[in-house]
Amino acid sequence: MSAIRLLVLGAIRQRGRAHGYQVRSDLEAWGAHEWSTAKPGSIYHALRQMAKQGLLRAHDIEPSPAGPPRVEYELTGEGDAEFLRLLRTALSRHDQKIDELTAAVGFLDSLPREEAIALLKERVTALDGWRAEVARHWTPDDADPGDWEPITEIMRLWTHFSASGAEWTRGLIQRLERGTHREDAEPAPSGSTNR
């Protein structure tokens, strides 16, 4: 579902309550319109859809004089659960696009440090496993000529990217373990949003 739901849920979560344009401009402030496919249409659509599905609660705001129907949203319990589910998935699975991974890193502080580390270790394992599997399909001995030849280059591409992805992940794990990365995410102190 691309990264949009994660981004939208995360944006609303950080504000507690927000209407469409606020979400949109927060995402823009994070540069999300550059590294993800977050356009107005997708954002408003996601808001309505998630409200319909019970992930968001919608509050109609009385429009000052005569304006377009203004709506503020906040997360329901399910919405919060869905946010965490998406975040965990994005961190631990290797088959995620760069936009989901970027968004997930941006929300890393929403998880307890221990859990973030565990998820990232899963990610490393997944990447290593995938690389092994790719390599198995490739063993030069079955270089049966007549075979689709560029396959070799594709394998190299993937091997390279998964190794590189694992390396980055290990780096982040280390920074988290050393506390170089800020330790945040108090379990759930009633009304937080300290910035």
Q: How far is the CB of 89 from DNA (least distance, A)?
A: 13
Q: Is 25 in the site for DNA (CB under 7 A)?
A: yes
Which residue's CB is nearer to DNA, number 1 or number 188? 1
Nearest Cα residue to 120 out of 98, 131, 105:
105
Beta carbons within 8 Å of 84's beta carbon, 6+ residues apart: 110, 111
For residues 194 and 124, the answer to whether their CB atoms sit within 8 Å is no
Which residue's CB is nearer to DNA, number 93 or number 113? 93
Partner whose footprint covers residue 54, from its own copies, DNA, none (CB < 5 to 8 Å by kind): none
Residue 179: HSE in the Cβ half-sphere, 13 Å Cα cutoff: 2
Burial of 94 from C-beta contacts in 10 A (0-12 / 13-18 / 19+): buried
CA distance 69 to 71: 6
CA distances from 94 to 104, 153, 162, 169, 183 (A): 13, 20, 8, 11, 25
Q: Is 97 in the site for DNA (CB under 7 A)?
A: no
- Of 1-9, 83-91, 145-153, 173-181, the window that binds DNA (rule: CB under 7 A) is 1-9
Partner whose footprint covers residue 92, from DNA, its own copies, none (CB < 5 to 8 Å by kind): none
- Using CB under 8 A as the criterion, which residues of the chain lie in contact with its own copies when the complex forms? 29-30, 35, 97-98, 101-102, 105-109, 146, 148-151, 153-154, 156-158, 160-161, 164, 167-168, 171-172, 175, 181-182, 195
Contacting positions for DNA (CB under 7 A): 1-2, 4, 19-22, 25, 37-42, 44-46, 49, 65-71
